[in-house]
């Protein structure tokens, strides 16, 4: 696994279409991100009230938790958020406007240890 992981909750709403996972994985690989992002399935992340939830984590970086994400419709915003996360010192995104709709899905941001 790379140093940056995008975890997708698969408990309360399974990924709607198995090809959706492959499309997101391919989009991450083709995005030309400065660092690779590994896509990982994750059991319950306690965002059940607003599925689909996802988390963005990296060693020595802040952790972000989002809920109410549409993996298909928000794909471009997911990629933009990954780009902003990688570019931000310590993963702490100061200006979330480039993240598009995902900034409105943010539930929490936890500083790095």
Domains and CATH numbers, the chain: 4-110 (3.40.30)
Q: pLDDT per residue over 55-69, tens digit each?
A: 999 999 999 999 999
Q: pLDDT per residue over 20-34, tens digit each?
A: 889 999 999 999 999
E strand or H helix at 63: strand 63-66
Look-up: residue for tokens 């309360």? 12
Angle, helices 75-87/18-30, rounded to nearest 10 degrees: 40
Which pTM does this prediction carry? 0.92
* 38: β partners: 5
Which residue has better confidence, 71 or 16? 71
Alpha-carbon distance of 99 to 111, in angstroms, equals 18
């Amino acid at each position: 696994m790379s140093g940056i992981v995008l975890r997708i909750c698969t408990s309360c709403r399974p990924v709607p279409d198995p090809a959706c996972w492959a499309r997101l994985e391919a989009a991450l690989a083709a995005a030309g991100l400065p660092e690779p992002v590994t896509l990982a399935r994750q059991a319950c992340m306690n965002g059940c009230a607003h599925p689909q939830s996802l988390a963005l984590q990296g060693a020595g970086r802040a952790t972000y938790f989002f809920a109410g994400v549409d993996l298909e419709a928000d794909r471009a915003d997911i990629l933009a958020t990954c780009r902003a996360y990688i570019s931000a010192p310590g993963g702490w995104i100061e200006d979330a406007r480039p993240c598009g709709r995902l900034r409105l899905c943010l539930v929490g941001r936890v500083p790095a240890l």
